[in-house]
Amino acid sequence: MKSKYIKLLGSILLDVVGVIPFFFPGLGEMVDVVWAPLSAYLIIKIYNNKVSKYTAVIGFIEEALPFTDFVPTFTITWVLSLWLERNN
């Protein structure tokens, strides 16, 4: 039970990291070139389930597109993974 809340805290922190460059005009989009594939990789490694493969693709697209950095992809993956775990 404790590990799922640690994953939630980590997910929130990673979502915050993904939003920080958004506050620096010009720099944000350059950082997204690196953060988009890194965030997709981290989602798959942290959650390692069927949901993570889909949300990693969505997260990559979300980070690569301009002005969409506010979507909390890691936290959404946490919620969907928890829901999937409870239904199986």
pLDDT (tens digit, 0 to 9) for every residue of the chain, 88 residues total?
678 899 999 999 999 998 888 788 777 778 888 999 999 999 999 999 999 999 999 999 988 887 777 889 999 999 999 998 888 7
CA–CA distance from 79 to each of 24, 43, 72 (Å)? 29, 13, 11
Q: Token pair for residue 88?
A: 């199986």
**Contacts of 45 by beta carbon, 8 Å cutoff, 6+ apart:** none
Q: Which residue has the tokens 């409870």?
A: 86
Model pLDDT, residue 1: 60
Choose among 54, 62, 83: nearest CA to 15: 62
Distance from C-alpha of 47 to C-alpha of 45, rounded to nearest angstrom: 6
pTM of the model: 0.88
